[in-house]
Structure 1
Amino acid sequence: MNDLDRTGPEAPPGGKAPVVSGKEAGRIAFAAFVGTALEWYDYFLFGTAAALVFNRLYFTTLNPTAATLAAFATFGVGFVARPLGAVLFGWMGDRIGRRPALLITVVAIGVATGLIGVLPDFAAIGVAAPLLLALLRLVQGIAVGGEWGGAVTIAVEHAPPEKRGRYAALPQIGSPVGTLLSSGAFALVLTLPPEQFDSWGWRLPFLAAFPLLLVAVYIRRKVEESPVFEEMERQEARSKVPAVDVFRKAWGRLLVAIASALLGVGGFYVMTTFAISYGTGTLGLERGLMVNATLVAAVAQIGVILVFGRLAERIGPGRVTLWGGVATAAIAFPVFWMIDTRSPVLVVLAVAAGVAILSIAYAVSGALLTELFPAHLRYSGVALAYNLAGALSGFLPFAATALLDVSNGGSWVASLLLVGIALITAVGGLVGERLRVRDEVVVR
């Protein structure tokens, strides 16, 4: 039997299927959500700062356009590093345990983010400043590379099969909550006079990562190991090098998973990081307006994730992904036309609508990706798929900004990019629905 024909850990003679509890599922999923929210807060801070701060304070020898491109390139370093984190923490999660991997990721990203808050700028230490900034972003990327895959894996493996959609959606809410926290923090410090903001105000959200790290570690220590993983340990059913086995035995599933995750990662950064830069740099809109637009979008995103996470239990996460991709392609041009009006109301509405609709597919990424891989390859497969999608799409803000010159500042280039990744995700959802596997578990 091929490894991918298995729907989960197979009980040997006299063995038994993993036991999951509906009572424990909600608690574990909530713990996964809180830790993920704190990690995304740390990670998203960099995206906002890249658009508003780093281009001016860390790349001061470049002209404004080149400085913005350099800041976005540094932002993209985190996405390139994420597959490395997926391999490292995927090995740990599939060999040693889901829980220890998640404890390490949260410590690594919290420390890296806090250190950005004390990093001297170019005026103080010269070229070492952007180099150290890129290094800390690299650490962030490696840590996040193992975070999301582990969070959705442990949430799903604690949940009864018929309720996996809702519990897999809870870690997804960590993204908009992280956006609310990071954008809210920047919205507060942007009220400072420009001189104070540039001098020390922008550092405060990064420094807040240190106390938040203590909260995250406390929560993660209370997360119990996955019963599915514990059963694999008893059966000695673990892969020796999970990432290699994913590429050797599940490469087709990996491609489908990458396609289905592309919109939720890349589309989000087009509608937030690029939109902030485009609105403030090209259209001359207030920084506060663009940041506040992402706050409204994050609130809308939470509602979408909750609704469509439950819908996935009825019609399947692949079908939800398909229609989410089609809907995003349909609104890609209208949302940027609304931003181009420079009307504050329409700008906020456009960003909120764009993020909300692309979040239809994102809402069910956890449920779909975890069911594309058997349990012994799951952490690695999910982490690799999600973070390879991030590596492929993380430079979209950079690409869209670079292409603005070609379009004479027109937003249609960003719209085309959004349409392209939305349609790829739609195809991933269509195929992925047919490839889903289920663990054999006992619900108590």
Structure 2
Amino acid sequence: MTHQPAAPIGATPVPQGKPRKAALAAWIGSALEYYDFFIYGTAAALVFGQIFFPTSAPATGTLLALATFGVGYLARPVGAFVLGHVGDKFGRKRVLVFTLLLMGISTFLVGCLPTYSQIGAAAPVMLVTLRLLQGLSAAGEQASANSMTLEHSPAHRRGYYTSFTLNGTQAGQLLATAVFLPIAALPKEQLLSWGWRVPFWLSALVAVAGLVIRRKLEETPVFQQAVADNAVAKLPLAVLLSDHWRDVLRVVAAAVIASVSTIFTVYALSYAVNTVGLDRSTMLWVGVLANAVALVAIPLWATLSDRIGRKPVFMTGAAGCAVLIFAYLWSISSANYALIFIFGVLTLGVVYSAANGIWPSFYGEMFSTRVRLSGTAIGTQIGFAIGGFSPTIATAIAGPNGTNWLGVAIFTAALCVVPLVAAATARETHKMPTEDLGAKPGEPSPASVAVPV
């Protein structure tokens, strides 16, 4: 007979979680949310330079278009501070519903924008404004979904269940790429006039479907316990920056691993199509296949992390990406489609999934319930901001002719070293009870804390 650990004296017993329902809601919501986010990156790589920056030289127009992709990441740290506070003080569910609505509306409006030829410089200004709103939404999306799922999960399967958030993200990226396949095949005139708008308009359906799903979510058991015990922090940021600042910095450094994804999906696509002259549809299929493989690889890596720990799996992913990015960019420069598919799938579909699939549990387990959403959101979004501008930096490194792929590979590998070191310094938490997460050695369980701060 299995016995549940006793609740601290004076504390409300933790209600039983619903991990499957939480994981499904996180998967669907993240898939819908990141469909919106990634169609912007695809459009920035393929068409935005010609639509919103037509007066610039082709290389400069591409650089400016990719910069607008990075701008969305500037808003993420701001959104993380605000939405992190709301989620830790008022609950995870409110953030989940708000972020989905904001992303859906702002993405739909991108598809309605007039072009530079119609209203001049106001067009790219409006584009950047909507991109900032996308960034605000994304800032709270994954952190709230991760916190929701982690806090519903049994301790021995937190890695597996929380991986569904990132699995949904990959599904959203897969869907975004797949939607662009028939669009990219349109004649250039139709692509640049109305074709590129269709994926953005579809976000209206995304927002409605996601809202229905997320409104049915229940708040997490440990957050309900914190409310019942009057242990919710009045100022979560004060607690976070006072007691957990080292872990926030650690998450910032570890989250730089997201640069691999943006280099792969945005820079490498632009390099292949605009510089090497490879077929646009074929390169989009590389992303589709890699993300399809990731859908299987992510939960497998996450399950392994539940058995052997978060650190070895995450570090394997970071180190592997540092090596394979050389092979992938070289295969593009060689215009060898067979090698492009092989190394593309290995890089993004298999190896990157090792780090990507387990960071929801790895980062979330560094913090207590009182500051988990804030800590995860702020740490990841600052790190992701670096990843957001990586394609712009990589394009600049590639030079005016865009041929210096080796320099880009070295730059990307250097970025992979940062999360590798950060993970090596972290504490292993995969066997720790959920109520004890965030406690420093020798301190009592955070679940026993009943004094609001």
Give the TM-score band, short-chain normalised: over 0.9
Within a 5 Å distance, the mapping from 1:92-241 to structure 2 comes to: 92-241=86-235
Alpha-carbon shift at residue 408 of structure 1 (Å): 6.4
Q: Which moved more, 1:190-199 or 1:153-162?
A: 190-199
> What residue number does 1:15 align with?
11
Within a 5 Å distance, the mapping from 1:374-413 to structure 2 comes to: 374-405=368-399, 409-413=403-407
* Cα 1:435–1:257 shift into 2, 3 Å: farther
- Residue identity opposite 1:104 in structure 2: F
Alpha-carbon shift at residue 435 of structure 1 (Å): 6.5
Alpha-carbon shift at residue 113 of structure 1 (Å): 0.4
* Cα 1:96–1:308 shift into 2, 3 Å: same
Match of 2:62 among 49, 62, 68: 68
Q: Which moved more, 1:241-250 or 1:35-44?
A: 241-250
Alpha-carbon shift at residue 238 of structure 1 (Å): 1.9
Q: Which moved more, 1:305-314 or 1:424-433?
A: 424-433
Please say if residues 77 and 137 of structure 1, whose CA atoms lie closer than 8 Å, have aligned partners that are also in contact.
yes
Please say if residues 12 and 228 of structure 2, whose CA atoms lie closer than 8 Å, have aligned partners that are also in contact.
no
Is 1:332 the counterpart of 2:325? The answer is yes
Please say if residues 322 and 428 of structure 1, whose CA atoms lie closer than 8 Å, have aligned partners that are also in contact.
no
C-alpha distance in 1, partners of 2:241/2:428? 20
- Residue identity opposite 2:284 in structure 1: V
SS of residue paired to 2:335? coil
Alpha-carbon shift at residue 407 of structure 1 (Å): 8.7
Computed over aligned residues only, the root mean square deviation of the Cα atoms, in angstroms, reads 1.7
**Structure 1 gap segments, 5+ residues each:** 1-9
Could you list the per-position Cα deviations for residues 240-267 of structure 1 after superposition, in whole angstroms to 9, with x for gaps in the alignment? 232343233211101111222221x211
Is 1:43 the counterpart of 2:37? The answer is yes
C-alpha distance in 2, partners of 1:435/1:161? 10
Alpha-carbon shift at residue 406 of structure 1 (Å): 7.4
Match of 1:440 among 408, 427, 435: 435
TM norm structure 2 = 0.91
SS of residue paired to 1:440? helix
> What residue number does 2:286 align with?
293
C-alpha distance in 1, partners of 2:132/2:24? 28
Alpha-carbon shift at residue 191 of structure 1 (Å): 2.1
Is 1:414 the counterpart of 2:408? The answer is yes
**Residues matched between the structures, number:** 429
Within a 5 Å distance, the mapping from 1:305-344 to structure 2 comes to: 305-344=298-337
Please say if residues 47 and 273 of structure 1, whose CA atoms lie closer than 8 Å, have aligned partners that are also in contact.
yes
C-alpha distance in 1, partners of 2:322/2:110? 36
Identity in percent: 33
> What residue number does 1:7 align with?
none
Alpha-carbon shift at residue 11 of structure 1 (Å): 5.8
**Structure 2 gap segments, 5+ residues each:** 1-5, 437-453
> What residue number does 2:441 align with?
none
Match of 1:277 among 245, 270, 273: 270
Please say if residues 272 and 351 of structure 1, whose CA atoms lie closer than 8 Å, have aligned partners that are also in contact.
no
Could you list the per-position Cα deviations for residues 24-80 of structure 1 after superposition, in whole angstroms to 9, with x for gaps in the alignment? 211111111100110000000110010111110001121111111111111111111
- Residue identity opposite 1:192 in structure 2: L
Please say if residues 320 and 429 of structure 1, whose CA atoms lie closer than 8 Å, have aligned partners that are also in contact.
no
> What residue number does 2:365 align with?
371
Please say if residues 371 and 438 of structure 1, whose CA atoms lie closer than 8 Å, have aligned partners that are also in contact.
no
